[in-house]
Amino acid sequence: MKESERLARGARKGGPGADRKKAIRVVVVDDDEEVRKNIATFLETAEDIQIVGMGENGMEAVRLVGRLDPDILVTDIRMPLMDGITASEQVKALYPDTKILLLTTFDDDEAMLSGLQAGAGAYLLKNTSPEDIVKSIREVSSGGTVVSPGPTSRLVKNYLVPLPPDSGVNVQFSKREMDVLRLLCQAHSNSEIAAQLYVQESTVKTHISSIMAKLEVNSRLKVVVRAYELGLVRH
């Protein structure tokens, strides 16, 4: 029995994770069997994530999304038969409610931009920690956008055009919010920001929530993009 069939049966008949209430249902697709099993293994350690299927190429990704109706598709990019970006385009065209997280070894601007344009909610490198991948799945599930720090820095540097000074946009931040914003734009995690500012991580989260509200955005990446557009921080 294929992995995808076994997982789908388990999800329907009370297998591992089937009794989780409101779990984020995830399909994992990667042409390397060991990689996809490792991804599935650490994702299943999260109480709010349930693996419902696995595949090995883009064609299987589209088929599995159509059959299993997951909340999130986690897929590699370079795979046989159909690549992950083409699969993302087809999934978003056929099943627009399914969100997509691209997980790849290729730190490549063209792939990143193509993936985001195809409708992916996240572009992560495979050296991302398991904990951060889990956080990113939750972020994407909530409608946010996540990009690994390296690609994010290049996105800001190479592709964003600051708004003109007379754009009429005026956002006021406290000094501590600006401290958090600068560190966030340098791709620091919440725990790293907390350590540098000598505050609790919960305090950092509160400041980030306030910053998001003032900038009218719903993800850390959009905070960074908006901050550079408004000239709040510099390259």
Taking Cα atoms as reference points, which of 199, 200, 219 lies closest to residue 209? 219
Domain harbouring 53, CATH code: 3.40.50.2300
- Read off the tokens for 74: 């986690």
Place of tokens 């799945």: 137
Domain harbouring 220, CATH code: 1.10.10.10
Q: How far apart are CA 99 and CA 120, in angstroms?
A: 7
Q: Does this model's pTM top 0.85?
A: no
Domain assignment of residue 82, given as a range:
3-149
> Which tens digits make up the pLDDT trace of 67-105?
999 999 999 999 999 999 999 999 999 999 999 999 998
> Which tens digits make up the pLDDT trace of 11-21?
544 444 445 55
Q: How far apart are CA 78 and CA 212, in angstroms?
A: 34
User: How many domains in the chain?
Assistant: 2
